[in-house]
A and B are shown apart, each in its own frame.
Chain A
Amino acid sequence: MNFELETASLPSENLRRVAIDPVSRVEGHGKVTILLDEDNKVHQVRLHIVEFRGFERFIQGRPYWEVPVMVQRLCGICPVSHHLAASKALDLIVGASKVTPTADKMRRLMHYGQILQSHALHFFHLSSPDLLFGFGSSLGFTLALVLFAGIRERLDGADVPLAFKGTAIAMITAGFMSLAFMGFAGLDRFQ
């Protein structure tokens, strides 16, 4: 059966088109189109994923050990996820069905590192600007950053286990701070 891709074919009475383009609160490229009638009643809303690159085609024919490094470039925020997905796919190809404990731990550590980084990133870069910008942005944003910088300075002197020194501990603190700032989430309703 050949299903028609559903598309915004404008019905007879003309609807006004409003586009949020680009959608910037997410990694990757998207666009939201909203069709409203005269009294602003929404009829149709669509999220369009506008980016097509063709990784799935041009990794074909490449040496298999290059693929994990190539597919990292699918996303600059979650490269580790794509890297690990490719590695797992290659496990089957190279017959490493049973992964050694060290490899497994390393993969988990990489993934946790990214989760921490993503949370901090999502909060400070993707969602907080909406909250803080609506609230005298430079002040709010600076507040968050100064706190973060201050904590990191204190960490320099602190007795941090070797494995966590540097970026790792910074990411963990950022993670906790992002949980703390979640408290502001409800303020939007007072716009």
Chain B
Amino acid sequence: MATAELEDILERHRRDPLRLLQILIELQARDGWLPPATLSAVATALGLPRARVESTASFYSFLHTHPAGDYRILFSDNITDRMLGNMALMQALCGKLWLEPGKVSEDGLVSVATTSCTGMCDQGPALLANGRTITRLAPERIDEMAHLIRRRVPVGDWPPEWFHVEDNIRRRDVLLDHGLAPGQALAVALDRGATSILGEIERSALRGRGGAGFGSDIKWRSCRDAWGDAHYVICNADEGEPGTFKDRVLLASYFDLVVDGMCIAGMAIGANKGFIYLRGEYRYLLDRLETRLAQRREQGLLGRNILGCGFTFDIEIHLGAGAYICGEESALIESLEGKPGKPRIRPPFPVTNGYRGQPTTVNNVETLALAALIAVRGGEWFRAIGTPASTGTKLLSVSGDVERPGIYEFPFGVTMAEVLDAAGACDTQAVTSAGAAGHCLAADEFGRRIAFEDVATGGSIMVFDASRDMFEVARNFAHFFAHESCGFCTPCRVGTAVNARLMDKLAADHGSPYDLDEMAKMHRLMQGASHCGLGNTATIAIDDIVAKFRPAFERRLHSPEYEPAFDLDAALSQARRMTGRDDPGAHLGDNLEALAEERAHARDAAKPAPSSAAESAPSKDLQP
């Protein structure tokens, strides 16, 4: 990377150490990886210790500190992608490019690997090609892709229809049919003023749509009342929960409402600056969103002196780089500050000590959009929808074994059965109500209602029909959490790894009831001892699945007694290869039982009489 180009990037980012992650993302996009020399140059330019730059560069999945090929293909590997056959397609692509998954091809041309859910479960299987999303993969598309890669055709010149992303909106309600013009809500809010708007939000009893369900008015009020030399509004568009793609649709087709919501939040808490933390998997939206923000600035709907009311509020979009943990608000803020996404010690909470230590409100995309709607329609109107404890509507991203995967907007209180019916699910065996980090409902629970007081959800509804192996679902989740754990605290860092290994042990037919007890032990350990929500929720779905679909696990238990996790015979592979031996003694496979009999026989023969051990003279102890 010529220093001139590096200087250009650093200049554009005003050599601001807080923008370290954004700088690294641009460098990664240009060079395909981040060589050590680049890390050193960036560290010097930003006046940061090189170790700090290395710790950020090595944390995020989409930043590579080792060569990853000119083409970096990442297959989305959520359980819904598996159900749509992504593994076969990946093997096919690897076959055509003569490489193994996870490795770079000999000539450094291409690497193929997996990544966590890319938010395309309604039009999967999907992959990221150098960070750009390609949906609806099929064998022909894979064949042509291999062809394009071998002929070194730039990703930008690949067939445009590959990159097309549908909204798949299936059921609209008050939010998706809001009918407001861009800036309309903002104008109303500016007209009514902060106190009145806060009153509306309070009357609406709006709760966070990211999944935690924290009262938005409480968050905004405590943020406004916190002292600080600057206040910030952050739109959490990380949307990393597997099976969730509602924010994708809001950003793609309702962006103005979201921006209005951010400006309203800014006005309410007295902030002049907002950030949108856009997940790296949605990079394809970046230019479109930046253009729209620029237009709004021209139209006086953003930036200085909005609508002539003297209110200044501007928005910066920061990209994530592949880290599910950055959905946690304090980890998101760490990432916004150019650091690895490791959750902070809480308290203090972001509302008092957030971005740059200043009072910050972090709200989900959907929450901000609803706030704008409430500013116009009023709190009472909103409160009349849904249930008393869960007011308003909820966007549900429904995927998996359904006729019509997509976005369904329902008032809170809708039963799971109604949602499944609307989506055209049949013969449903199970549903995960909050992606990998929530509960798993069996058929007898579909009467339960989607609401914070019953089935709480961030919007990810993944449906599994009777043909699905629920063990594989649990195993996919276990690997997801082991891959996404930030590694900060012992129970989650090592606990998720142990869980993933236990799942692999069962999958390799080495399982026994002992291993199911170990999983339950990990569940108990991580509940309450983990540093953040990831560790505390990493085993909930798994624990549910083991409890409600035990046969799917029992089928996997190879023996009632404890078995080793590793394959005994395979453990002799290197020795066999080096010695060239293949005689029975060189194996530990199915001859184990036979050898045990033989030894038992030898033992009985060796002892003439069942006398006490001392009598038999050792020197005459010759086996026949």
Contact = CB atoms under 8 A, between A and B. Distances in A.
Q: Direct A–B touching in the complex (beta carbon < 8 Å)? A: yes
Interface of A: 16, 18-21, 24, 34, 129-130, 133-134, 137-138, 188, 191
A90 to B, nearest CB: 31
Nearest to A34: B622
Interface string B66-103: 00000000000000000000000000000000000000
7 contacts: A18-B624, A19-B623, A24-B618, A130-B618, A138-B614, A188-B619, A191-B619
Contacts of A20: 621-623
Contacts of B624: 16, 18
- A-B pairs with the 3 shortest C-beta distances? A137-B614, A134-B617, A18-B622
A133 B623 contact: no
Contacts of B619: 130, 134, 188, 191
A129 B618 contact: yes
Contacts of A130: 618-619
Nearest to A132: B614
Contacts of A133: 614, 617-618
Contacts of B622: 18, 20, 34
Interface residues on B, range: 10 to 19
Given A16-B624, A20-B622, A191-B619, 16 more contacts: A18-B622, A18-B623, A19-B623, A20-B623, A21-B623, A24-B618, A34-B622, A129-B618, A130-B618, A130-B619, A133-B614, A133-B618, A134-B619, A188-B619, A191-B617, A191-B620
B185 to A, nearest CB: 65
Contacts of A21: 623
A137 to B, nearest CB: 4
Contacts of A129: 618
A130 B622 CA distance: 14
Nearest to B617: A134
Interface in B602-624: 614-615, 617-624
A111 to B, nearest CB: 31
A188 B620 CA distance: 12
Contacts of A138: 614
A143 B391 CA distance: 88
A104 B624 CA distance: 52
Contacts of B614: 133, 137-138
Nearest to A139: B614
Interface in B572-624: 614-615, 617-624
B64 to A, nearest CB: 28
A180 B149 CA distance: 85
Contacts of A134: 617, 619
Most chain B C-beta atoms within 10 Å of own C-beta, residue among A16, A129, A137: A137
A48 to B, nearest CB: 12
Contacts of B618: 24, 129-130, 133
Nearest to B614: A137
Nearest to B624: A18
Contacts of A34: 622
A20 B624 CA distance: 10
Contacts of A24: 618
A74 B484 CA distance: 42
Interface string B301-345: 000000000000000000000000000000000000000000000
B358 to A, nearest CB: 48
Contacts of B621: 20
B580 to A, nearest CB: 12
A129 B617 CA distance: 10
A161 B7 CA distance: 80
A137 B617 CA distance: 10
Most chain A C-beta atoms within 10 Å of own C-beta, residue among B619, B620, B621: B619
A21 B603 CA distance: 12
Nearest to A135: B617
